Every structure is written in structure tokens, then in C-alpha cells.
Chains A and B, each alone.
Chain A
Amino acid sequence: MEILGQFNYWVSIALAMIGLYTVISKGHLIKKLIGLSIFQTSVFLLFITIGKVRGATAPIIDPNFSSYSSPLPHVLILTAIVVSVATLAVGIGLAILIKRTYGSIEDDEIESIDKAEEN
């Protein structure tokens, strides 16, 4: 258990890096949004991992149990999940608007259309 003590953090970092790579390298705006939501999930994983206590149960107070995981990260992440959907919805709204205006949601095509208009 000593060696794998940090395993959850590593998975969370790996997911964050997948998300980051997608946001940087993919040109398609919807794909970028998918990468962003994977990045957000990785942060959730980090927080919930911090809240976990070995051998504890969910933080619902009951006389039969004495050890609970920390409720505070759970609350923060509940809020964060809902906020992440809100940001995703705004992003999708923007993507649809860009598609309607430019006829494409690929990064490079939008850029070339912009340049053509400037010239």
C-alpha cells in the first residue's frame, strides 16, 4: 500500500494531461470541450481522493459507524460538477453560433476565413 499510496493522484494527473493535450492540439471545438470536461473530472478525482479516509464510510451520521470520510470535498465537488455543466452549455452555445456564422468549427478553417476577410 505504501508504493501505491499516490496512485489516485497519478491517475488524476494523467487524466488532466489527456484533457490538456486535447485542448491544445485538437482543432475541433466540440473535441476541445470534451477534453475540457475530462480535465474537470480529473480535478474532481483529486478532491474526492483527498477526502477519503481508509476504512471509513460515507458521511451519513449513524450510530453504527464512527469513522466517516470528509464531507467538505464532496460538497465542493457537487457544486463544481453542476458548474462544469453550465460552462459546457455556454461553450456549446458558442460553438453552435460559430458554426452558423463561419460554416465550420475547425480552428484552422475559421482562421483562414478570418484572414481572407481581412485581405
Chain B
Amino acid sequence: MIFVFVTGCFAIWLKDLVASTIILGIYSLIMATIWVVLDAVDVAFTEAAVGAGVTTALLLFAIWLTGKSEKKVNRIQWGAILGVILTGSLLIYGTIGMPDFGDPSAPAQIHISPYYLQNSLAETKAPNAVTAVLASYRGFDTLGEVTVIFTAGIGVLALLSGFRKRRKREKGVIQE
């Protein structure tokens, strides 16, 4: 937990963006081990592959295209710090009402999860309850997720290809 906090801080603090990205990858890997400790093995797989792998690759690609160091800013923004501390303390005040860590009688555990755990094997024949819920009970959510990825892909393609055409046109003007 504390490791996660420290790596998170470093990722923000470093001015060199490549180092910052690599530290973010380490942060994701530590996060993946925390998911295993918290029994979320499927999430750990995804975090290790997507968080530590794809995100790092995407960020490195972006840094390669946009330049690798941040401008030095010496002033500390007290307004931002004040706002953050205020929000944080309000949220911590909110956790007083939250159930204790791992409490079996917490509201999240007694409403719908027992149904999934008891019936998913019989109804979907998938021993992994996460898979059963993802692909069967909440199949429409997964469809929505695929739609989001598709839209994002189209968005990125539209952004970058539109630019390339414009630059070609500008070059054409210069040649004339």
C-alpha cells in the first residue's frame, strides 16, 4: 500500500516524462499484486496486461511524438493544494460511515453477490463467478464496453488521420 503511494508520488514529481512513465508502470505492477491480495485475480491479470503494458506503451509513444521533458515550474500552487486537502478531508470524514475492511456483513456482500456465488455455476456452467457475471448476467455491460473501445479507436483514428491530410495540404500550398 505504502509502496503504491510512494511510486504514485514519484510519477508525478519527476520532471523527466520517460522516467515518470516507467514509474507509472511499476505502480501498476504493484497495484496488480494488491489486487491478488484482495482476491481479485481477474482484475490483477487485466491490470498487469493493460495498466502496466498497454498504458506504458501508449504513453511512451506519446512522449516520443511530443518531447520528453516537462517545463520547470518552481512555484507551488497553494490554491490547488488547499482545494485538494479540503476535498481529501471531506472524503476521509465520509469513510467514518463505511463498513470495516473485509466485513462479511457489509451491504455490498449481502445483497446480490450471494446470488451470483450460489447460482452462477448451475446457470452458466462457468466455475469462475467473475467470468459468469461478465459474460452472462451483465453481458450488455460488456457490449457497452466494447462499444466504448470501438468509439475510442475511431476517435483516435479520426484525430490523427485528419491531421495528416491537413499537413499534406499545407505542404502542397508551400510547394505551389
Question: For chains A and B in complex, what number of residue pairs have CB atoms within 8 angstroms?
Answer: 259
- The proximity string for B residues 95-115 relative to A, scoring 1 for CB distances below 8 Å and 0 otherwise, is 110101111101011001100
Contacting pair A74 B83 (CB below 8 A): no
Interface contact B66-A85, CB-CB below 8 Å: no
- Per the CB 8 Å criterion, the residue count for chain A at the interface is 81
CB < 8 Å neighbour of A73 from B58, B98, B102, B108: B108
Q: Is the CB of B46 within 8 A of A82?
A: yes
| Contact bitstring A15-58, B, C-beta under 8 A = 1, else 0 | 11110111011111011011101100100110011111111111
Query: What B residues does A88 contact at CB under 8 A?
Result: 55, 58-59
Interchain CA distance A61-B126 in the complex, whole Å: 9
Q: In the complex, which residues of chain B have a beta carbon less than 8 angstroms from the beta carbon of A86?
A: 148-149, 151-153
Does any Cβ of B come within 8 Å of A2's Cβ? yes
The one of B71, B88, B145 in contact with A83, judged by C-beta atoms closer than 8 angstroms, is B145
CB of B10 to closest CB in A, whole Å: 10
Docked complex: B35-53 residues within 8 A CB-CB of A:
35, 38-43, 46-47, 50-51
A54 CB to nearest chain B CB (Å): 3
Q: A116 contacts the other chain (Cβ, under 8 Å)?
A: no
Which A residues are closer than 8 A to B by beta carbons?
A: 1-2, 4-11, 13-18, 20-22, 24-28, 30-31, 33-35, 37-38, 41, 44-45, 48-62, 67-75, 77-79, 81-83, 85-90, 92-97, 99-101, 105-106
* In the complex, the 4 A-B pairs of residues with the closest C-beta atoms, listed nearest first: A54-B102, A5-B100, A86-B152, A70-B113
